[in-house]
Amino acid sequence: SQPWPGIIRAYPDRIPVPAGAKVITLGEGNTPLLPAPHLSELTGCEVHLKVEGANPTGSFKDRGMTVAITHALASGLKAVICASTGNTSASAAAYAARAGLTCAVLVPQGKIAMGKLAQAVLHGARILQVDGNFDDCLELAQKTAIDYPVTLVNSVNPVRIAGQKSAAFEICDVLGQAPDIHCLPVGNAGNITAYWAGYSEYAGDGVVKNTPRMFGFQAAGAAPLVHGEPVTDPDTIATAIRIGSPASWDGAMKAKNASAGLFEAITDEKILEAYRLLARKEGVFVEPASATSVAGLLATAADGRLPKGSTVVCTVTGHGLKDPATALEGNVEVEPLAVDPTAVAAALDLR
Q: Does 212 bind ligand F0G (CB under 6 A)?
A: no
In the range 282-301, which residues lie near ligand F0G by CB under 6 A? 287, 289-290
Q: Does 188 bind ligand F0G (CB under 6 A)?
A: yes
Nearer to ligand F0G, 301 or 316 (CB): 316
Question: Phi-psi category of 58—alpha, beta or left, where left has phi over 0 and alpha has psi -120 to 50?
Answer: left
Q: How far apart are CA 71 and CA 239, in angstroms?
A: 29
Nearer to ligand F0G, 43 or 85 (CB): 85
Q: How far apart are CA 176 and CA 213, in angstroms?
A: 17
The span of 145-153, 188-196, 270-278, 328-336 binding ligand F0G (CB under 6 A) equals 188-196
Minimum CB distance to ligand F0G, residue 350 (Å): 38
Q: How far apart are CA 70 and CA 81, in angstroms?
A: 14
Minimum CB distance to ligand F0G, residue 23 (Å): 23
Residue 131 CA to its chain's centroid (Å): 24
Q: Does 191 bind ligand F0G (CB under 6 A)?
A: yes
Q: How far apart are CA 275 and CA 290, in angstroms?
A: 8
In the range 40-59, which residues lie near ligand F0G by CB under 6 A? 59
Minimum CB distance to ligand F0G, residue 351 (Å): 43
Q: Does 241 bind ligand F0G (CB under 6 A)?
A: yes
Nearer to ligand F0G, 30 or 155 (CB): 155
Residue closest to 41 by CA, chosen among 293, 279, 308: 308
Q: Does 87 bind ligand F0G (CB under 6 A)?
A: yes
Minimum CB distance to ligand F0G, residue 347 (Å): 35
Helix (H) or strand (E) holding 119: helix 114-122
Nearer to ligand F0G, 185 or 212 (CB): 185
Q: Does 320 bind ligand F0G (CB under 6 A)?
A: no
Q: How far are the Cα atoms of 147, 333, 347 from residue 340, in angstroms, in the given order?
A: 66, 18, 11
Binding ligand F0G (rule: CB under 6 A), the pick from 56, 115, 185, 198 is 185
Q: Can you list the positions of beta strands (E) in the chain?
A: 33-35, 46-51, 79-83, 102-108, 126-130, 151-152, 181-185, 213-219, 262-266, 311-316
Are 190 and 64 in contact by the 8 Å Cβ rule? The answer is yes
Facing residues of 80 across strands?
Answer: 103, 151
In the range 149-178, which residues lie near ligand F0G by CB under 6 A? 155
The span of 81-89, 119-127, 141-149, 227-235 binding ligand F0G (CB under 6 A) equals 81-89
Q: Does 189 bind ligand F0G (CB under 6 A)?
A: yes
Minimum CB distance to ligand F0G, residue 209 (Å): 27
Facing residues of 83 across strands?
Answer: 106
Binding ligand F0G (rule: CB under 6 A), the pick from 29, 56, 86, 244 is 86
Binding ligand F0G (rule: CB under 6 A), the pick from 25, 55, 84, 166 is 84
Q: How far are the Cα atoms of 30, 179, 202, 226, 316 from residue 46, in angstroms, in the given order?
A: 21, 10, 22, 26, 16
Q: What is the dihedral of CA 100, 189, 324, 97, to 10 degrees?
A: 0
Interface contacts to ligand F0G, rule CB under 6 A: 59, 61, 84-88, 155, 185-191, 240-241, 287, 289-290, 317-318
